[in-house]
Structure 1
Amino acid sequence: MRKMPEDKVHKITSVTCTAPVNIAVIKYWGKRDEDLILPINSSLSVTLDQDQLKTTTTAACSRSFKEDRIWLNGKEEDINQPRLQSCLRELRRLARKRRSDGDSSTDVLSYSHKIHICSVNNFPTAAGLASSAAGYACLVYTLSQLLGVEGELSEVARQGSGSACRSMYGGFVQWRMGEQEDGKDSVAEQVEAESHWQELRVLILVVSAERKPVGSTAGMQTSVETSPLLKHRADSLVPGRMEDMINAIRQCDFAAFGELTMKAIVAYTFDAGPNAVIYTLQQHMAEFLQVVMQFFPPETNGGQFLKGLPVSPVTLSEELKSSIGMDPLPKGIRYIISTKPGPGPRLVDDPSLHLLGPDGLPKKTA
């Protein structure tokens, strides 16, 4: 069942879902419409496996709730944040429309009830690891399940965070910039499923888990206002690179994929923070990881250094060590997350995993 039975006292209906992080390899940086979050160019990303990085969100509605409320990572936040309100309004509108169109399966009261939302990340928030993308994708998907909304949801997620539209799908996803002024054609679509390129692997080198000093929105605005080359990139370079990247993904051509991102046996990119995201193939994972650990040695008492998918250790040759030509930098990397392409948002069927209790408030953590 998708919904918990209504509590006899509080009459609360709850839904819990998870959603993934995505990391762009052809990036969008800058908006042509700040209110609708319409980008100046199309983009393409890899959705990462939720076993390593995900947002979990529970949404509940009840006649007894007095107001909409939201808790993020254990702290209550302002529900009136404009982008959050945009998503709530649109999903309620779609729920009302479905009911008015004669769909009796939609709870006639649910879209008028107040909603409580609780969301947590299992990775650093606001540190440049696309937490807003996973967060808004999870919010939109969870509320769509709660309110009985179906259809194209990436447009709704985009109104919360631009890159969130790409987290509505698994695998390899493009976000078409669109041409319409109302943004109806600025949506995401899956290029290939996560199972398409099974050898592709991702390493996230976490240098800092702290909140980044300049937010993505502010950074984009500054770039649009000050960079004379940004428009040239969006108009002249990105369209061809998008086509080339899609072809590389469909052909599982890592040489072309890597060249478009960075020339090497591995390809690196950064999101909006200091943490490097490394793309490579499974056959290179062990050796590359050992090189990283050779020159960025983990702290002996610093906790688990490699998280996520296991990687078998290998021994580096002295020739390889000497050819790199750099001294070890202790504490340069806090930890590494090993992952791969993964699926889009998922419904959590186990009621015990709901983040909200039977009173509609966040559960107490031990």
Structure 2
Amino acid sequence: MENGRANMKPVTGISQVTCTAPVNIAVIKYWGKRDEQLVLPINPSLSVTLSQDQLCARTTVAASADFKRDRVWLNGQEQSVDAPRLQKCLGEIRRLARKRKHKDERAGDLLGSCVHVCSENNFPTAAGLASSAAGYACLVQSLAKLFHIDGDVSHIARQGSGSACRSMYGGFVEWTMGRLEDGADSVAKQVAPAEHWPELRVLVAVVNAGKKAVGSTEGMQTTVKTSALVKYRAEHVVPSRQEDMRQAILERDFQTFGEITMKDSNQFHATCLDTYPPIFYLNETSKHIIHLVHRYNRHHGKIKAAYTFDAGPNAVLYLLQDDVPEVLALLRHFFPPSSTNNSEREFVQGLPDANRKDLPAELLNSVGLEPSPGSVQYIIHTRAGQGPQVLTDPQQALLDEKGWPKKQN
């Protein structure tokens, strides 16, 4: 992988690029738009970009004068190319290519060509794990490289999926709210690189990998229309909370980082409950994980783990490297894998599993939950990671040398 310009190898008149892009999980949540068409948020947000070694989208884009029309495949299934947000991203990239044609003839070479796009995720799609963020960041990065567009393109990714703009950078990233009517200043900016906090670890507890009942776009629209709490949050809570979180990251202050992360997750889901009719993204297992984290922290007298939940029931736990063995042991004890889960996949995936740790009876009694076998399907152990990457090995492309998917369902 490399961050530089793609290795463009025309094959039978085809130009092709393959990229990967990461998932990001917000610690200050984005929920609600002030402009639906431009995808402008009602408040700023801040997230952690997760390592692509465990969670990423991969996209190959190809352009050729021989293609009859634009076509898109996602996870082996052809999708409608008429989706408004997809068209926005394609249109913006082509607009920039036309604008820069007089400066760089390469940008204009492909303007008359249709594109084929093939993308896949290595994690559940539409399950509240930021699949759209990774997917649109990957699409925009790939198209930008294909059309030789340099510089920040997070404002284009934003128009595909708001949080996708944050997946355009690695480490710790904020999405500025912006003030301009055209949204030109509503972009993503890196607060700190992934290497800034090497001890930080992330455990993603997958509770339900299925598609959520209420999609994020629909949920946001209803919340903005009906919730008084979301308006108060945007105007009176998030601005100072955003600054406090930025400072906690720069100082590697896990106590403040953890407290704000949990409070902001709770408030986000409170706005969902304040929506009319209410939206329920958390399930009983989600609530049990919340109880476990608070009781675990109370037992130790400080914050050693912090939860956050996006628009779904799956828990994302932030913690420091030294505490991974104990927290994993707690999750194994109270949410043990079922025999079915064991036969299908490893319960803990990702980074090398920490050494097993025996839990003292005092700690188990402090948590005091009834074990719930099979309620957590599996756990992904990861860390902060880099932004989008370019793949130069043709074997990693999802399209063949003629621009067609190598795999189709």
- Flag whether TM exceeds 0.5 (same fold): yes
Q: 3, 24, 45: which is aligned to 1:22? A: 24
Gaps of 5+ in 1: none
Distance of 1:328 and 1:138 partners within structure 2: 39
Q: 374, 377, 387: which is aligned to 1:334? A: 377
Name segments (4+ residues, structure 1) moved above 3 Å.
none
Gaps of 5+ in 2: 263-293, 295-302
Q: 1:4, CA displacement in angstroms?
A: 4.6
Alignment partner of 1:276 is 2:311 = no
Q: 1:18, CA displacement in angstroms?
A: 0.2
Q: Which residue in 1 is equivalent to 2:401?
A: 358
Q: Which residue in 1 is equivalent to 2:171?
A: 171
Q: Which residue in 1 is equivalent to 2:276?
A: none
1:61-85 deviations in Å (ceiling 9; x for gaps):
0110000000000000001100000
Distance of 2:331 and 2:112 partners within structure 1: 53
Q: Which residue in 2 is equivalent to 1:349?
A: 392
Q: 1:265, CA displacement in angstroms?
A: 1.6
Aligned pairs for 1:279-290 within 5 A: 279-290=318-329
Q: Which residue in 2 is equivalent to 1:192?
A: 192
Q: 4, 10, 23: which is aligned to 1:6? A: 10
Q: 1:130, CA displacement in angstroms?
A: 0.2
RMSD value, Cα: 1.3
Corresponding letter in the other structure for 1:306: V
Q: 1:133, CA displacement in angstroms?
A: 0.2
Aligned pairs for 1:117-266 within 5 A: 117-262=117-262, 264-266=303-305
Q: How many residues align?
A: 362
Larger helix fraction of residues: 2
Q: 1:107, CA displacement in angstroms?
A: 4.6
1:140-186 deviations in Å (ceiling 9; x for gaps):
00000001011220000000000000000000000000011110010
Corresponding letter in the other structure for 1:37: V
Distance of 2:107 and 2:160 partners within structure 1: 25
Corresponding letter in the other structure for 1:81: A
Q: 1:201, CA displacement in angstroms?
A: 0.5
Q: Which residue in 2 is equivalent to 1:324?
A: 367
Aligned pairs for 1:66-145 within 5 A: 66-100=68-102, 102-104=103-105, 106-145=106-145
Whether the 8 Å contact between 1:3 and 1:13 is mirrored in structure 2 is no
Q: Which residue in 2 is equivalent to 1:294?
A: 333
SS of the equivalent of 1:333 reads: coil
Give the % identical residues. Answer: 57
TM-score, reference length from structure 1:
0.97
SS of the equivalent of 1:108 reads: helix
TM-score, reference length from structure 2:
0.87
Q: 1:111, CA displacement in angstroms?
A: 2.2
Whether the 8 Å contact between 1:38 and 1:177 is mirrored in structure 2 is yes
